[in-house]
């Protein structure tokens, strides 16, 4: 009997996850604490380590299955002896409820007697690839996998299906007499492919929370534009000295975080939240900074950003960006947050209406900087301008407060000296 591998504790209030990928195959040698599976929670990916050194035994769940905390998902046989790979969770093409048993069987069953190979190949199929195999009626053992460890990818299946669609006398002569049932649907038009991919838990959570915000909050967005001339000049003047002293580049986000902290002191409702019939005001600012990760947008939190210097803010943002790319953000990194700043400008966005992240009451949207004609001292001049958007919960924040907040930010960005003398 192997040692059980259980789903570890995933964080406060998280009770289940999705098994994203098996990192080991039956019979593979594993070291103690070596990751053998990757789980996807609402916000982060979590590796499941092997409890002992030995040989990976039986996976008890499939990729894409939902598992609870403490659930047994696999076994590991202690010791160094090779264990025979188990015929575990293979899903045979004939078991698909959507395929007709009589006509579909000849198309799927291999004619060369390699059933054992087909079963072995099927053990390594991801849910998306297995679905493609069933839809294309292709023997997976006849396809050479281009993925890691020889695993089949969806592209491999699609290419094999395309090759199978080329004119074949054997196919046309051996057609079953019952081919009148939807023959046209089996031949998709070349160049018009579709792919169905199950939503990740992260994407499902983002969708649920954004819809929840629209359903519960009275959302409104107000705009202003900011002349970035002084910030750009200050950054150009001090960026080399800043990087030499602090070991980090001076970006624009530090200016906006500091300006938001300054504005929130004058308009505390922007940093507050509604809990039941009470309003919770805070004397600290925990800024959620939207960061792009390979699996979607995540919002790690800079704690007490109002008490941090430019270098501390920039280091925190850079650290979160690296962790997001590496997939090492933790639940603690993203818990909390009292106000969000989202910078769509890095992707070229000119204007947007961001949606708040409940229970927060406001989110600031930054956008791209572009030169536009503006009037300064009676003269039309070209200036680097940026649109700012503040989306807020109108149940708590009045329009006057939202406008005041953006005006305070505009004043601080256009005259960065205000950030130093607390004006």
Residues marked active site are found at: 394, 398
Q: For the chain, first and last CA: distance in Å?
A: 69
HSE at residue 350, side-chain half, CA atoms within 13 A, is 3
Long-range contacts of 10-14 (CB under 8 A, 24+ apart): 10/39, 10/41, 10/46, 10/69, 10/331, 11/41, 11/330, 11/331, 11/332, 11/335, 12/331, 12/335, 14/41, 14/42, 14/69, 14/331
CA distance 351 to 365: 8
């Amino acid at each position: 009997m192997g040692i059980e591998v259980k789903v570890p504790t995933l964080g406060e209030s998280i009770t289940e996850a999705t098994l994203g990928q098996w990192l080991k195959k039956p019979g593979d040698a594993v070291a103690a604490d070596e990751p053998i599976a990757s789980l996807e929670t609402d916000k982060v990916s979590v590796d499941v380590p092997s409890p002992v050194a030995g040989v990976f035994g039986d996976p008890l769940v499939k990729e894409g299955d939902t598992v609870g905390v403490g659930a047994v998902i696999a076994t590991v046989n202690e010791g160094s002896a090779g264990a025979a790979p188990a015929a575990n969770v293979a899903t045979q093409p004939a078991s698909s409820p959507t395929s007709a048993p009589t006509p579909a069987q000849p198309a799927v069953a291999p004619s060369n007697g390699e059933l054992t190979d087909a079963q072995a190949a099927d053990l390594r199929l991801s849910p998306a690839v297995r679905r493609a195999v069933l839809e294309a009626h292709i023997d997976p053992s006849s396809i050479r996998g281009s993925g890691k460890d020889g695993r089949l990818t969806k592209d491999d299946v699609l290419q094999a299906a395309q090759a199978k669609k080329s004119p074949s006398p054997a196919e046309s002569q051996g057609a079953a007499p019952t081919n009148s049932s939807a023959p046209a649907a089996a031949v998709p038009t070349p160049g018009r492919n579709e792919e169905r991919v199950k939503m990740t838990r992260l994407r499902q959570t983002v969708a649920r929370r954004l819809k929840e915000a629209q359903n519960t909050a009275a959302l409104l967005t107000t705009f202003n534009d900011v002349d970035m001339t002084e910030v750009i000049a200050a950054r150009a003047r001090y960026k080399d000295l800043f990087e030499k002293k602090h070991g980090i580049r001076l970006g624009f986000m530090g200016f906006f975080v500091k300006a938001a902290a300054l504005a929130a002191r004058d308009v505390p409702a922007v940093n507050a939240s509604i809990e039941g019939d009470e309003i919770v005001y805070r004397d600290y600012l925990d800024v959620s900074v939207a960061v792009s990760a390979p699996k979607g947008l995540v919002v790690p939190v800079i704690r007490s950003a109002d008490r941090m210097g430019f270098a501390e803010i920039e280091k925190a943002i850079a650290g979160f960006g690296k962790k997001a790319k590496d997939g090492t953000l933790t639940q603690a990194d993203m818990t909390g947050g009292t106000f969000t700043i989202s910078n769509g400008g890095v992707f070229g966005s000119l204007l947007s209406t961001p949606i708040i992240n409940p229970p927060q009451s406001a989110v600031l949207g930054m956008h791209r900087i572009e030169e536009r004609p503006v009037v300064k001292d009676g003269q039309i001049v070209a200036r680097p301008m940026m649109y700012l958007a503040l989306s807020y919960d109108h149940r708590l924040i009045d329009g006057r407060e939202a406008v005041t907040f953006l005006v305070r930010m505009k004043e601080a960005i256009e005259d960065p000296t205000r950030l130093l003398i607390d004006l």
